[in-house]
Structure 1
Amino acid sequence: MIRPAITIAAAILMSAAAFAQSEPVGQTVEVNGMQMYYEVSGEGEPLIVLHGAYMNIPTMGEIIPRLAETHKVYALEFQGHGRTEDIDRPITYPNLASDVATFMDEVGIENADIFGYSMGAAAALRLAIDHPEKVDQLVTASVGYDVSGWQPAFTAFIPQMSPEMFVGTPMEDEWKKLAPNPDGFRAVVERLIDLEHEPMAWEADVKALQTPVLIIAGDADVSTLEHNVAMFRLLGGGEMGDMGAPLSPSRLAILPATSHTAVINQVDLLHGFIEPFLQGETPAGFMGQ
């Protein structure tokens, strides 16, 4: 899910070559004491894209250019990821959300739609909680709102995680190709392992959200199916349609035969869910709703 373990992170990062794309020219901006790298592509209403842990813009793959066909996409790289420098500060979800909010202020975006994957989805959710005025619509792929929602296998693995699982592996070699400080990988890994232990108990915050949310998850994701359904219900979803009442503005999409790392690879499916949601399109039933 949100914060991938070694097998999850390795699969994502090492798939970068498979998602090679013609990238727009990037820029940096001062954000909370660091130089944050970002890329802008497309035209239209602003859409901010947030990657997962151990990832960067290229490893988000072809979903970025697809979304840029109808939106002005701002793809960001978080602290210690890609071309954004690391700083002496913990990587936490409130910090990541603050970075996105500050970025928006610095580049003159009053509010925008947000799409986040994995760690980026949790940061996006926290952004909607802490800065609701900045988020029009929110798309979260592979997210959770409480640590109780992780699959038991992932929960059991977290205490076993150590920097040695990452440092000195091909993951570090890939990370160094973009990093401003090629010697800083261990520090970033240590921060991300600490993030795994960050308490998450956001149920009340999620229930209070007024922002429309599209929840996307694989049916074999790191968060359980029950957790994704519970989040959908917190947002007002899950009631029967065709009964005269309007549908919830939030939506739930479960991708079949899909693990955590396979979610971001399914561009056609993702785009087929995301674009109608952002455009406010609802499938018509024969009952007229």
Structure 2
Amino acid sequence: MSKPTLLLLHGALGSPATLQPLAERLAADFTIKSFAFAGHGGREVRPETFTLPHFAAEILAFLAANESEPARVFGYSMGGYAALLAAHQVPARFASITTLGTKLDWSPEAAAAETRLLDPEKIRAKVPAFAEQLRERHAPADWTAVVRATAALMQAAGAAPPLSAADLSGIAVPVQVLVGDADPTVGTEAGAALAARLPRSRYELLPATPHPLERADLTLLSEKIRAFALSA
């Protein structure tokens, strides 16, 4: 019997490589697939394609080209938001979605807080090891362009959130919303209220879990993803 497909979607500043440790924990039960969003993982950085609506379109195009059945999806942070946006547009493509660290309550103030540290010069000066990681992850593209484009994407989301509360209420796909209890920008009351608008949602706080995926308990996370995806 063939294994079901699980599509893994990376977050902002990420690439499929950042999901590899999680993929290894899920490979026994799923056929793992992934791809790099436009402007990530070495793809050309262009303002017109570095947007949440474009990322959602890329998800739908990938599923149309590679999957004949509704897909199970895990999206980390930005990847989770793009998956929800895609599911709002074409719900029939999705069997279920699990998100982790996905911010739902966007506003100009939230965007300002999120982008405060998205300054390539500050990153290079204060966390040079991270700057080198980004350089390697996004080569041959310019990692500083990825950082600036990510800030612009967040500012656009803050000014006009792609998903309204009404949009979330219309997503007829099972969605598991996982939020780290040590991730204050995502684990807000407003975010929880928006997650509750999803008609077929499961919301859970994960203990001792900050926002960075590499600091999450990947064994616990993989168990949550596995159980929800296989129940769909």
1:257: which partner in 2? Answer: 208
Q: Displacement, 1:264?
A: 6.1
2:59: which partner in 1? Answer: 100
1:77: which partner in 2? Answer: 36
1:19: which partner in 2? Answer: none
2:45: which partner in 1? Answer: 86
- Looking at structure 2, the residues matched to 253 and 204 of structure 1 have their Cα atoms a distance apart, in angstroms, of 22
Instruction: Select the residue among 111, 126, 143 that pairs with 1:185.
Output: 143
- Looking at structure 1, the residues matched to 135 and 18 of structure 2 have their Cα atoms a distance apart, in angstroms, of 14
The correspondence of residues 36-47 of structure 1 with structure 2, limited to 5 A, is: 44-47=3-6
Instruction: Select the residue among 206, 219, 224 that pairs with 1:273.
Output: 224
Kindly provide the CA deviation profile for residues 13-64 of structure 1, in whole angstroms up to 9, marking residues without a partner as x. Answer: xxxxxxxxxxxxxxxxxxxxxxxxxxxxxx5111110011111223224211
- Looking at structure 1, the residues matched to 114 and 138 of structure 2 have their Cα atoms a distance apart, in angstroms, of 28
- Looking at structure 2, the residues matched to 52 and 160 of structure 1 have their Cα atoms a distance apart, in angstroms, of 16
2:23: which partner in 1? Answer: 64
Kindly provide the CA deviation profile for residues 181-232 of structure 1, in whole angstroms up to 9, marking residues without a partner as x. Answer: 24x2222222111012023152111011110000000112121341343134
Task: Point out the structure with the larger strand share.
Answer: 1
Q: Which moved more, 1:202-211 or 1:99-108?
A: 99-108
2:152 is aligned with 1:194: yes
Question: Is 2:73–2:96's contact at 8 Å kept on the other side of the alignment?
Answer: yes
Instruction: Select the residue among 116, 122, 142 that pairs with 2:101.
Output: 142
Choose 1 or 2 for highest CA Rg.
1
2:168 is aligned with 1:210: no
Task: Point out the structure with the larger helix share.
Answer: 2
Question: Is 1:79–1:91's contact at 8 Å kept on the other side of the alignment?
Answer: yes
2:121: which partner in 1? Answer: 164
1:224: which partner in 2? Answer: 187
Change (3 A) 1:207 1:52: same
SS at match of 1:65: helix
Change (3 A) 1:159 1:172: closer
Change (3 A) 1:263 1:219: farther
Instruction: For 1:196, give the aligned amino acid.
Output: M
CA RMSD for the aligned pairs? 2.7
State the structure with bigger RCO (CA 8 A, min sep 6), 1 or 2.
Answer: 2
Kindly provide the CA deviation profile for residues 170-191 of structure 1, in whole angstroms up to 9, marking residues without a partner as x. Answer: 3342233344524x22222221
- Looking at structure 1, the residues matched to 43 and 216 of structure 2 have their Cα atoms a distance apart, in angstroms, of 24
Ranges in structure 1 where 5+ consecutive residues have no aligned partner: 1-42, 237-248, 282-289
Question: Is 1:149–1:227's contact at 8 Å kept on the other side of the alignment?
Answer: no
Instruction: Select the residue among 52, 71, 80 that pairs with 1:112.
Output: 71
Question: Is 2:108–2:155's contact at 8 Å kept on the other side of the alignment?
Answer: no
1:131: which partner in 2? Answer: 90
TM-score (norm 2): 0.83
- Looking at structure 2, the residues matched to 160 and 172 of structure 1 have their Cα atoms a distance apart, in angstroms, of 13
Alignment length, in residue pairs? 224
Change (3 A) 1:203 1:129: same
Ranges in structure 2 where 5+ consecutive residues have no aligned partner: none
